[in-house]
A and B are shown apart, each in its own frame.
Chain A
């Protein structure tokens, strides 16, 4: 019988939800990694034995990446640590914002994104990571700025069929892409607005909050921007707005359905100057036509008034069928849908603010 696991990274530690493949009744384990901000969690389901990841930062003792091969019951890190800048980089990792496995035809390849803005590649299944020099040495780097969360690469989107292609998103800086395995990188922000800059159409400098793509349609990507929801159909050459039909174009996460490349989810907030859900009503918005039209999903989510935002990595899907969708809020609630978002059930409440969620059916 299958089982499902839900990693819940919070400002003060990790909780893990466990249930069977039906994903209706969740049991919550935790906390682990107490007093660490769990900015990233990850699940690598490419092998028979899934590997879980946690990227935590202790305000006292610094950042660390741990992995688990027993569904989060025990965690390991190599003696000398998983991730750290070489001496000549003259920088130190502050937070690990993203841990993302590459496609199944690149076994062992796992990427990480950090503050300060750097991309890291592991070829040993996420045990140790090496700095991707091509992006670190990019001449634009000195012009990348810091959002409230610090200057970070928070999104890594490996191309599903071409191992030489990777897209990253950073705040601020925007989207950058490589087509040669990380040696050279180009900004890919054409069409994405930067309303907080004197020139709202810069080559780079945008504050892209999250990217998503379906592996069957890798040239189509979705972006939730710091104001603006966009889609590209040509691998990032041009981005076009898909925000019509949403109550707001501001928000943090964007997620694609695991089996339906046209189905995408966002969690709108009113504006950058008012980061709470419109109408004080928590709603996931789902599009089933790649952003042409949107529908609110509320069945099982809290009634108004409810003011908690959802952060960039606190909305996710699993790979189950029907698809599971999960969200965690800044007021410490976690909701799960086992029917692609039609209905939601509460997994947890009164946790510390939720920074990251990832789930898998095993």
Chain B
């Protein structure tokens, strides 16, 4: 037993140690923040009470949307060919939401009262709804992932039970996701005086929901290529290509909503202003929507792992720009206030994200995460034996 652990530690790749170091550093700073207060450790102020952390929360939740999107595709639409992607994607969601929960506690002035949203409900508050949905959906994600753990440790009866209730779990999970992906957008419905009109719209909840579907799909598609490098396991090219086929539709719908909303509100002229705001808005649409929409319309792009990764990164970049715009970059400035994150804010954020990636890596190493996926090493062996050599695993 100890020899085994010793051997595992010796053979652990250096990347894992780097992640662990970043995580330990970040969590030490986080510990300091909890007792030193927000004023001493962050650059947040009365003009910008929310900053880097909330921006990342919104972004991470958005790309964790792959879990509910894929669950809906596999269990509700019953397109079982996508099943191999479910476990890796649910784990992405799980570590994503886990990191968001940690950061949310960091962000509370009275973090010791984090449970107050359970005791003192205000049903009119978007943040109340978000808190509840994220809590419940994290529990759903844990349940959805539990069969993997059960399989590893041979808890067959519990595993079977969790698989039996998969469908109701998925339906509850997709509903909770719809609610909180959109109500993260509802947070900004009350901010019409502060948020620039290009972004402000009562439909922002729907836009958040649609873009989270795009970000979630992009995370699965891009993740397949990254996982091929890191874990030597990946999704089949057919599966990636078919997932990529959904993207132009989702992105197209999002684009029509964004432009249509400006049209309906009579704000299309703001786009021609050629100022900071119009450029920021157009950058999101060009980088994160139009470019990947065109890319993923080509079957050749959808079937090429590197191009698919590139397109997925564009989608994620677009959602990143969008979420940071509504929390920070597109807020109307207030005289006397300026915000740029402190090194402590950045260290804590990097530490928590490193922790999330670290957990993912370790789970991928030791748990049956990649059942039904393509074994790249085996593909390489076949390629060596075959008389007409193919590019490995492709």
> Do these two chains interact?
no
Chain A residues with CB under 8 Å of chain B are none
Chain B residues with CB under 8 Å of chain A are none
